[in-house]
Structure 1
């Protein structure tokens, strides 16, 4: 039985030099090839060397002295370096050969797939044919690594990566190891797995997890909305046909906000005496 298995870091002995590299061996005299390009120094016969085992581009077992970010017994954030719709996404594990995360392990909808530059929390696995694949961290693994969030985190901003979707929204694992839930109503754009987000903590749960939002606090939102309305009126020559009696669809079409948000922002502008409303619409005072 071959004990040299792909995905493992092992210590081997240089059995002999070849024109292209070195043949390495273990105590059972099993051999694996180490190409010159996969080591940064000259090796001598009988020298002990630590290598990572992988399959080269022709599917042969090979070795490299470059240590990967992960092995079969660890997990880490890996960067997506390629997307192949028919296969899945390729992950950078720190060696020259990228590893595939199968499409079977990704969300069903292609719009939810990661893009190049996104990061996923992964380990390694082999299939029944011994081929090496990236393996998404399970919910249980994330839970084991997580930390409970303190009460002081409320209304603070935190950053993390989307690692799962459920029927109501997205789950993030943050830089500080908090598990965060982003409800679909608290988002402002389509999300994808592996996407890095900065979110605001809205609630600390009893189990130490947090609820988060991509939306600004109301007072900030009011300010941004009112500035947008004022700028629009100025661009229209000082007046517009919309007021707080206008049709919600018209308001949505022009400003991309609900009528309730529009009325709140207009209320702020009226209170500050920056605008006045007429039956025909709104104008700058």
Structure 2
């Protein structure tokens, strides 16, 4: 059995002691699960899913706590403290996550959050993080299709918009001119692939492409009108902020959906709002 340091492992309980449980770590020997993390009713012979990391003495230790990230992940984490060697991030465990100064793009400050990549250091084999995110993004050309839904982590503000990390692997860009909602570094949200360029760069959008996105929202808008007694005060003169606050879509998509419902003779429009056709 091989232990995956910095990741979740399913290990068998081999014995109970006053200060916790020992788990079978295969060639690594027995690994302690401290008493405060032992689930109620746990006994020798049970299999537990635990996160394996290193304690203050660099020994393997198990926990049933869920860290905010594991080895291989990108995450937005807050600095807990700084010393002469680097910064230490709160990642949800008793022992903070170390970022050496050489892995910081700028000197990290206590209380601020940064996007980092969690990995094993090649020399020390310790779990560390790096704010030099670019080097850990995949250089392979992604095999995404236009319109494909992806999970993104907003990474960095630029003159063009926001850089984002796609599916914990690729870099992409959300263009400023197409952003209709407040974004900030560290946000996780769904997005859609607009295109994968020849050079491998990926353009993203916050809504489904073309008519599919409009049709999806048109059905939502229709149901909203029905559930409000067949009427809504929103119309194409309503502020974009008000439309987004209620539906989470741009004013452009809202107007197209209204037009779609009107053409199908499902609603009538006036200056005061939209009424369902009875």
Partner of 1:31: none
Q: Please give the secondary structure, in 1, of the residue aligned with 2:140.
A: coil
C-alpha change, 1:281 and 1:161, in structure 2 (3 Å) is closer
1:89 matched to 2:89? The reply is yes
Q: TM-score when scaled to structure 1? A: 0.52
Contact 1:172–1:182 (CA under 8 A) maintained in structure 2: yes
Kindly name which structure, 1 or 2, has the bigger radius of gyration based on alpha carbons: 1
Q: Distance in 1 between matches of 2:134 and 2:226?
A: 54
Q: Distance in 2 between matches of 1:146 and 1:189?
A: 29
Partner of 2:257: 265
CA shift, 1:227, in A, is 3.4
Q: Distance in 2 between matches of 1:227 and 1:185?
A: 26
Contact 1:81–1:90 (CA under 8 A) maintained in structure 2: yes
Partner of 2:130: 136
Q: Please give the secondary structure, in 1, of the residue aligned with 2:207.
A: coil
Q: Distance in 2 between matches of 1:176 and 1:281?
A: 43
CA shift, 1:206, in A, is 2.3
Q: Distance in 2 between matches of 1:259 and 1:76?
A: 38
C-alpha change, 1:280 and 1:139, in structure 2 (3 Å) is closer
Q: Distance in 2 between matches of 1:176 and 1:218?
A: 26
Contact 1:154–1:203 (CA under 8 A) maintained in structure 2: yes
C-alpha change, 1:164 and 1:229, in structure 2 (3 Å) is closer
Partner of 1:64: 59
Q: Distance in 1 between matches of 2:270 and 2:154?
A: 47
Partner of 2:163: 171
Q: Please give the secondary structure, in 2, of the residue aligned with 1:253.
A: helix
1:238 matched to 2:230? The reply is yes
Q: Distance in 2 between matches of 1:176 and 1:204?
A: 17
Q: Please give the secondary structure, in 2, of the residue aligned with 1:153.
A: coil
- Between the two proteins, the alignment pairs up a number of residues equal to 206
Q: Distance in 1 between matches of 2:176 and 2:272?
A: 37
Partner of 1:40: 30
CA shift, 1:210, in A, is 0.9
Q: Which runs of 5+ in 1 are unaligned?
A: 1-37, 42-53, 57-61, 68-74, 126-131
Which of the numbers 173, 180, 184 marks the counterpart of 1:191?
184
Q: Which runs of 5+ in 2 are unaligned?
A: 1-27, 32-53, 63-70
Contact 1:91–1:100 (CA under 8 A) maintained in structure 2: no
CA shift, 1:182, in A, is 2.5
Q: Alignment RMSD, CA only?
A: 4.6
Q: Distance in 2 between matches of 1:255 and 1:63?
A: 49
Q: Distance in 2 between matches of 1:97 and 1:272?
A: 60
